[in-house]
Structure formats: structure tokens, C-alpha cells
Amino acid sequence: MALGLDSGDHERPLSEINVTPLVDVMLVLLVIFILLAPLFAQALRVDLPRTGAPPLTEPTVVDLVVTADGGLRLDGEPLAAGALAAELGRRMAAEPRLVLRLGADRATPYQRLAEVLSRLEEMGVRRLAFAVRAPGPRAEGRGADE
């Protein structure tokens, strides 16, 4: 025969391995694990200990915006550059976990923003977040290169 199945030499062992039963067993095991996985996840019940600690609270967020002309607005109110240290110092003394969210107009010069960041570092602001706009469709017909 062409495949050599009937060579006439019946005493020589077969050199091919039949993997079909192995594949069948593995598929059955896979189906069993797929069906039982949700049961294992729900079966884990843990009785956690109770503590007397107060629940964690969200930190206070203060918005500082650098406008296009270089001015500052703290929580929407205009603020003189010299008053920034005093106002933030007062707020940080009242709330140690204060987070400062810094935003800037896209037309704000980078130099001005770098100056504000340097002043914030000198004041000891360690929790800083940057306010950004979520990506989405461009407004006012602006192109992708802006």
C-alpha cells in the first residue's frame, strides 16, 4: 500500500503515536474547567476582621488655573501671584491631605507654567494633579496639528 500500513512485517512495532485520544481527554477536561470555574470563584468566602479605624475619606482638591495671560485663578477666584503662597499655605495647614489640581490654558506660555510649578515646589506642595481634557472630537473646526 502507499501508506505502508500493510508492509508484511508484523513483528516490527508501530512508530506513530495516535494523539486522538489525548486530544479528546484534554477537550473534556477543558470543558469541565470552564463549567466549574464560576463555582470555584463564588465558593471562596472570607470572614474579614473588623477594625475601629475611621473610613478613608477623599482628599480635598483645590483647582489652580493659569490663564492665557499668565494670571492665576484659585477655585475660580482671581488671585494675585504674591498671594498664592499665603493662600495655599493656609489651606494646606487646614487640610494636610490637600491635592492641588493644576490646569492651564493651551495658549499659556510654557515659561509661565514652569514658574508656577517651581513656586509650588518651593511652597511644599507634594500632591499635584494636572487637569486635562478627555480626548474627543475636536471643537471649532480645529485640525489635528494644533
- Look-up of cell digits 496639528: 145
Residue 120 lies in a domain: yes
CATH number, domain containing residue 69: 3.30.420.270
Residue 81 lies in a domain: yes
Q: Is 58 helix (H, G, I), strand (E, B) or coil?
A: coil
The string of pLDDT tens digits covering residues 55-101 is: 778 888 899 999 888 889 998 889 887 888 888 889 888 888 889 99
Residue 110 lies in a domain: yes
Report pLDDT for 27. Answer: 96
Residue 79 lies in a domain: yes
Residue 99 lies in a domain: yes
Q: Domain of 112?
A: 61-130
Q: How confident is the model at residue 1 (pLDDT cuts 50, 70, 90)?
A: very low
Total domains in the chain come to: 1
Which pairs from 47-53 meet CB under 8 Å and 24+ separation?
A: none
* Whole-model pTM over 0.85: no
Residue 96 lies in a domain: yes
Residue 18 lies in a domain: no
Give the CA distances from residue 11 to residues 4, 6, 15, 107, in Å, rounded to whole numbers and listed in that order: 14, 12, 12, 89
The string of pLDDT tens digits covering residues 13-45 is: 767 888 899 999 999 999 999 998 887 777 667
Instruction: Please name the amino acid found at residue 112.
Output: R
Residue 124 lies in a domain: yes
